[in-house]
Amino acid sequence: MDDDMIKIQLTIGNNPFPLTIHRKDEEMVRKAARQVDNLTNAYKEHYPELPEVRILQMVAYQLSLEGLKEKGRNETAPYIDKMQELAKLIDDCINN
């Protein structure tokens, strides 16, 4: 095993998941597991009559939707606008 790799055991919904991950990813991996547990518990509380498989489908859907929304965000737009503004200022200075 690579020195950068570690073995951890996650518990999601009382189910153990042994994983081998990069050491630098441990916090994120554990946070993701907590997020799944938190969403699962919230849905179970809100929809106690639904079977667990349906609850897990809803959690998967919600997390997938959030991921897709995040992918669609354009974080570079403010920087591009600022760069265009600066380029115009430079052009104005050069041409005057």
40 torsion bin: left (phi>0), alpha (psi -120 to 50), beta (else): alpha
Note the pTM of the prediction, 2 decimals: 0.68
Is the pLDDT at 40 greater than 70, yes or no?
Answer: yes
Reduce the DSSP state of residue 39 to 3 states and report it.
helix
- Other residues' Cβ atoms within 10 Å of the Cβ of residue 62: 14
Q: Is the pLDDT of residue 2 over 70?
A: no
Question: Mean of the pLDDT values across residues 19-38?
Answer: 95
Task: Report the mean per-residue pLDDT for the chain.
Answer: 88
Confidence of residue 28 (pLDDT cuts 50, 70, 90): very high
Question: CA–CA separation, 20 vs 9, rounded Å?
Answer: 9
